[in-house]
Structure formats: C-alpha cells, structure tokens
Structure 1
Amino acid sequence: MKSELTGPDERTVVRRWARHPRCVARARADLRTTLASWGLPTVEEVALLVLSELITNAVRHARVPGRQIETRYLHQGDSVRIEVHDTGDPHPRLMTPRPEAVHGRGLFLVDALADQWGVTPRAVVGKAVWAVLAIPDDERGSTADGQLGEG
C-alpha cells in the first residue's frame, strides 16, 4: 500500500497498491478492516470476493509499467461501492466461461454477486471497474462505532 486517504466523513477509503499479485491479499485485508469499522459484517464475504476478482484482473491485465492500482471503498448509506482503478486501456468484457476454462470467471462472478457493476473511463488514462453491493436493511442504520443511527 503506497498511500492512505480517507474521506472527511470516514465513508470513503482510497488506497494505492503496487501492481503485484501480493496486493490482492493486502487489499482484501484492508477492505475487511474497513467493513468492520463501518459495522457491515454481512456484506463482507461477497465484498471480499468481488474485490478479489476486480483487483486480480487489474494486476493481470493492466500492464503499464510503474503504475499503481487504486482501490476505493465507498459507504453510500444503503450500499457499498467497490472500485478498482488502473491505467490499462482494455475494458473487461463479461463472458460466460466454458466449464473446462481455467480463467475467465472473474466478471461472471462479479455479475452474479453484485447488485450493479460497470466500467467507467478515467479522465487521463485507464478505467475504473466498480461494483455496488446492497446493505441489508437491518445494517443500514449502523455507524462506525456500531451504534444504531437515525435511519
């Protein structure tokens, strides 16, 4: 992790990672900690799998030397948005993997697990691949300290 930025409301977390396979596990651990601080344990399993797929794609396919991968986690009240920014130009495509295929299941899983997902071009170079996960109704009032908020 190269730098840490947290939004003023502590509901946006931005991290930058070296484009290396080790960053996948580190980003997962970081997201796990973030979700715990937001009091969102029920979305953790799905969120970690979605992040793993998105960041693995960035490590594998965004081959711009010396460039970092950026993750953003946004608590949006009724949802959590996970973004992975990279400087690669190719936009990922959703494909149905063949049963014998070794690769190609990442976005298929993201599509199945996320409530929404997509790709947004970045202003200068690259893209952001994002996914939105709905927070169950009983957790939506949680705050960072675990107390119930006002709806």
Structure 2
Amino acid sequence: MIETVQRFFESRPESVGQAREFVSMVLTGWGCTERTDDIRLCLSELATNALVHGTVADHGFLVRLNAEDGVVRLEVHDSRRQRPEPRQTVDTDLSGRGLVLVAALADGWGVQDRAPLGKIVWSCFKGA
C-alpha cells in the first residue's frame, strides 16, 4: 500500500519546527517509528536549506512523505534550481554540515528538477 501526504510551509524560521512536527505526526500515524529521529533530523536540515538557499523571496517550501514497502521517502520542494552539494567543513564552521548529515543518516538522497521551477531534495529510509 502506498501512502503519500504533503504540506506547504511558509518562508519563515518557525516553519522548520512546524515541518518537524508534521513529519512526526505522519510517521506516528503510519506506525513508522523505527527511524523517526533520523527522518526528523534530515527534514530539519533540508527544510533549513530550502529556507536559506532554496526559496525565492516570499516563497515557502513543500514537504512530501511517501511510504511504500517499508521505505519512507522524504522530499523538500523549493523554488530555486541551484543544486546543493555537501561541503567539506572544519571544526570551527558554524554551518555547512546539513547534507553531510543527510548522507550519513539516510539510505539514499538526491536532487531532481521540479516543474515549472525549483528542485526537489529527497532522502529515503528503509525499515522506517
């Protein structure tokens, strides 16, 4: 059985916390509790990146969750085509570790173009 839900969030800092709560609620409703912490952390990083780097002024971001055959796919849709890339950081850097964390916690992640504009940054979690 395939289940998909999505929600749009405004372009403001408190939206990241609201998106985390949305993801927790959905995963609990689906009975997917094994990897909730990993999924929430990845959502936080991807949503923060969407706000800081991926949204055109006054455009928010969309969070979509899909569950199929024991795999949860998390997507964050934003309005810019610029593709994110993991950065090499040093201990004194205050930011720049988001995609490194996503790569470490998720079973896969990637970026795809979104029509008519923007991109989708996704991550997937087996056994969620």
Pairwise TM-score range, normalised by the shorter structure: over 0.9
Normalising by structure 2, what TM-score?
0.94
Identity %: 37
Question: In terms of Rg, which structure is larger?
Answer: 1
Matching residue within 11, 14, 24 for 2:6: 14
Q: In structure 1, what residue type is equivalent to 2:33?
A: P
Aligned to 2:83: 91
In structure 2, distance between residues paired with 1:83 and 1:72? 5
Trace 1:29-68 onto structure 2 (pairs within 5 A).
Answer: 29-68=21-60
Aligned to 1:126: 118
RMSD: 1.4
Matching residue within 55, 72, 76 for 1:80: 72
Moved over 6 A (4+): none
Deviation (angstroms), 1:10: 7.2
Q: Secondary structure at the match of 1:41?
A: coil
Q: Which runs of 5+ in 1 are unaligned?
A: 1-8, 137-151
- How many positions carry a matched residue from both structures? 128
> Higher RCO, 1 or 2 (CA under 8 Å, sep at least 6)?
2
Aligned to 1:6: none
Normalising by structure 1, what TM-score?
0.81
